[in-house]
Amino acid sequence: MLLTGFITEAGHGLLDLSFVKEVERGVLALLDRGAATGDWNVPDTLLEPLPSVINEHDRQLREVRLGVVTTAVERLERMIVSAFAQRTDTDF
């Protein structure tokens, strides 16, 4: 989801960015709920929009220049490192 949003933000998306972000929030809520409760069932509200975003991501990987995808991956990696560092800092 995040990569699809980053590539869309860079001007290479066919879906509205607000739609991608909305689905992203739904997936993050699903992951949070699953981690907290063990309930990993996908809510009905995600069943229709999720495949659209997945298909858009697949299209982006096929059609968007590698440099754009690489930039999005690097941005995601920085977010992961930052989130991990913040989590580690608060664990001590």
Closest CA to 42 of 24, 27, 20, 53: 27
Domain boundaries, the chain: 2-91
User: DSSP of the chain, one letter per residue?
Assistant: -HHHHHHHHTT--SS-HHHHHHHHHHHHHHHHHHHHHS--PPPHHHHTHHHHHHHHHHHHHHHS-HHHHHHHHHHHHHHHHHHHHHHHHHH-
Render pLDDT for 48-62 as a digit per residue (tens, 0 to 9).
999 999 999 999 999
Q: Which of 32-36, 47-51, 58-62, 83-87 has the lowest mean pLDDT?
A: 83-87
pLDDT of 91 above 60: no
- Whole-angstrom Cα distance, residue 28 to residue 90? 21
Beta-carbon contacts of 13 under 8 Å, excluding residues fewer than 6 positions away, are: 4, 7, 20, 56, 60
pTM of the model: 0.84
